[in-house]
Structure 1
Amino acid sequence: MTEVQVLLDGLGIPESPRWHNGKLWFANWIGQEIVSVDSDGTADFTPTPVPTERLMGWSIEWLPDGRLVTTGDKIRRTETDGSVTVLSEQSANEIVVDDRGNIYLNGADFDFAGGEAPKPGYIKVLTPDGELREVASDIQFPNGMVITPEGRTLVISESFAGRLTAFDIQANGDLTNRRTFADGLGPDGICLDAEGAIWVSTGGSSVVRVANGGKVLQRIDLPEHRAPFAIALGGPAGTTLYLATVEWHADQPITDNLNRLVTGPRGGQILTAQVDVPAVAA
């Protein structure tokens, strides 16, 4: 059985974890902070470049040139001098960036936290020259995304459908050849390893490593009521699995869980586990 350890505690809702420049970085929802943490648990908490109107539903990623992009009520880029540029008025949940600087963003136009009836979501691409266009629709609550190292495939979590969905990436940034990568899951934030398998949540207090086609290669169980919202691979050898988790009770309404996370004690945690297959080489 894989041992799971607590790296960081007392967080709001940790989301969008990324291994970058020798540290784990993530968005600390509710606290409106971007957190970086060393492998030993030493953390720095930095306010978001511009406070977003959304306590929840924003993420971080870096462009190929090293500039930080944040989502939320708008898409913003932090420049090398610390100033902030609005790239688009488009609100967004998760993002991923390809080697050409295309920003893929997703969202769904309904109030999830407020209990509004779900609507199908989308994936859009924001190109380096500022063009924004929709490249996929009818996504059943879009969540985490990954792009394969050669830049040919994008995989997205469709949380409400319980599946990972793959697309071919065209030279102009369009997405084609929609297909199922794996199903029967409870996917949220995901990460890709060096063998092309994806770490993903099951919908309960566990995560699995799945191959293209859906074969489960490994499973890691977490403490009861500890839900993994997002996952990243990193660490000195690339074999540390970082799990951004919160206390979650599946027998309670979603709004009750979210309200407790906003108003109650900060119980978000970053957990770690050691795995055999490393992250994709940078």
Structure 2
Amino acid sequence: MSENGNQNKEQPESVEVKMNYNVEELANNFKFTEGPAVDAEGNVYFTDIPEAKIWIWTVNGEMELFREESGGANGLFFDENQNLFICEGWEGRITRISPDANYEVVASKYQGKRFNQPNDIWPDAKGGAYFTDPEYNENPALHQGGMHVYYVNSENETIQVITDLVKPNGLIGTPNGKTLYVTDHGDDKTFSYTIQENGSLSNKTLFTNLGGDGMTIDQNGSIYLTTTDKKAIDVFNKNGDLFYSIALPQQPSNVCFGGKNLDELFITARTSIYKIKLDAKGVN
């Protein structure tokens, strides 16, 4: 997979962190929060990985337990039909829960071997989903021989779509289904790819010389990245130019838009979950 001329893109200049956002802590005392995802009503689901639980922060401002024994669930995402895709890191698989609570395994092996630790996921409009498969244990087993990105289609058939990243983590697609962004936590870079009709990827392009954990996108195409080793979210325009940063009390792990109007940014950050009201709106 070739890279185009943006590979030599310079590191973005540092910007002054905007301090005029009211960062509201919604809940705390978690072990390690991750994977925020919004449903059609604006409720935000998120995971506490060590506790193997999935929680919901409702649009009514209440906390509800959605699932226990989650398999070490990390990344979550709802598709257009309100099926909840789950990265079960401990089990090395992708699962899905339908609106009527039917639970099924979508992908658990590639070429006869289990996945490493599925981390983040983005479903497309065709019933398939892209997911990253890094490994964060001290002595990684690397069941797949490396850390790659996969696509599982609507028939639960899996293909390998990216094999040349160090440690892929967060990813998000554009609403039109034409572009996929993937951040390489292991190499501190984020790339964009053109999505092909069969689910494969082409036109690997350096988006920014910053890597991170999770990311989301707003209706203007701006990318919100929980940049590596920063207590902040960096916001980029669609060209990869750094707009500004949003300071946070803790280092964030992931981010999504939620609320009834999709104009609230929900951030999972270690032991807490936070919310910020923005002018921008997300997509779901």
Q: Distance in 1 between matches of 2:151 and 2:124?
A: 10
Q: Distance in 2 between matches of 1:147 and 1:18?
A: 14
Q: Distance in 1 between matches of 2:242 and 2:99?
A: 42
Two-structure CA RMSD over aligned residues (Å) = 2.1
In structure 1, which of residues 152, 155, 161 is the aligned counterpart of residue 187 of structure 2?
Answer: 161
Deviation of 1:59 (Å): 2.2
CA distance 1:26–1:123, change in 2 (3 Å)? same
Q: Distance in 1 between matches of 2:42 and 2:79?
A: 16
In structure 1, which of residues 9, 29, 34 is the aligned counterpart of residue 54 of structure 2?
Answer: 34
What residue ranges of structure 2 are gaps of 5+ in the alignment?
1-18, 110-114
In structure 2, which of residues 271, 278, 282 is the aligned counterpart of residue 275 of structure 1?
Answer: 278
Asked if 1 retains the 8 angstrom alpha-carbon contact of 2:38 and 2:77, the reply is no
Match of 1:214 in 2: 240
Match of 1:7 in 2: 26
Q: Distance in 1 between matches of 2:246 and 2:81?
A: 35
Q: State the Cα deviation string for residues 178-228 of structure 1 (Å, max 9, x = none).
A: 011122x341110001111111123211111112333211211122xx110
Match of 2:254 in 1: 230
Give the letter for the 1:197 counterpart: S
In structure 2, which of residues 108, 121, 131 is the aligned counterpart of residue 95 of structure 1?
Answer: 121
Match of 2:223 in 1: 198
Deviation of 1:83 (Å): 3.8
Q: State the Cα deviation string for residues 96-154 of structure 1 (Å, max 9, x = none).
A: 1001111111113x4x2224499752111111112111011112211111110110000
Asked if 2 retains the 8 angstrom alpha-carbon contact of 1:7 and 1:40, the reply is no
Asked if 1 retains the 8 angstrom alpha-carbon contact of 2:57 and 2:64, the reply is yes
**Equivalent residue of 1:188, what SS?**
strand
Residue 69, structure 1, aligned to residue 94, structure 2 = no
**Equivalent residue of 2:186, what SS?**
helix
Match of 1:242 in 2: 266
Asked if 1 retains the 8 angstrom alpha-carbon contact of 2:95 and 2:105, the reply is yes
Residue 142, structure 1, aligned to residue 168, structure 2 = yes
Q: Would you say how many aligned residue pairs link Structure 1 and Structure 2? A: 251
Match of 1:46 in 2: 66
**Greater relative contact order structure (CA < 8 Å, 6+ sep):** 2
Match of 1:16 in 2: 35
CA distance 1:209–1:70, change in 2 (3 Å)? same
Q: Distance in 1 between matches of 2:32 and 2:215?
A: 16
Q: Distance in 1 between matches of 2:227 and 2:161?
A: 27
Give the letter for the 1:89 counterpart: S
Match of 1:175 in 2: 201
What residue ranges of structure 1 are gaps of 5+ in the alignment?
247-267
Q: Distance in 1 between matches of 2:222 and 2:238?
A: 7
CA distance 1:117–1:207, change in 2 (3 Å)? farther
Deviation of 1:5 (Å): 1.3
Q: Distance in 1 between matches of 2:222 and 2:79?
A: 24
CA distance 1:214–1:66, change in 2 (3 Å)? closer
**Equivalent residue of 2:245, what SS?**
strand
**Equivalent residue of 2:267, what SS?**
strand
Q: Distance in 1 between matches of 2:233 and 2:108?
A: 34
What is the TM-score when the length of structure 1 is the normalising length? 0.82
Asked if 2 retains the 8 angstrom alpha-carbon contact of 1:8 and 1:41, the reply is no
Asked if 2 retains the 8 angstrom alpha-carbon contact of 1:233 and 1:239, the reply is yes
Match of 1:251 in 2: none
Q: Distance in 2 between matches of 1:272 and 1:81?
A: 29
Q: Percent identity?
A: 23
Q: Distance in 1 between matches of 2:166 and 2:212?
A: 11
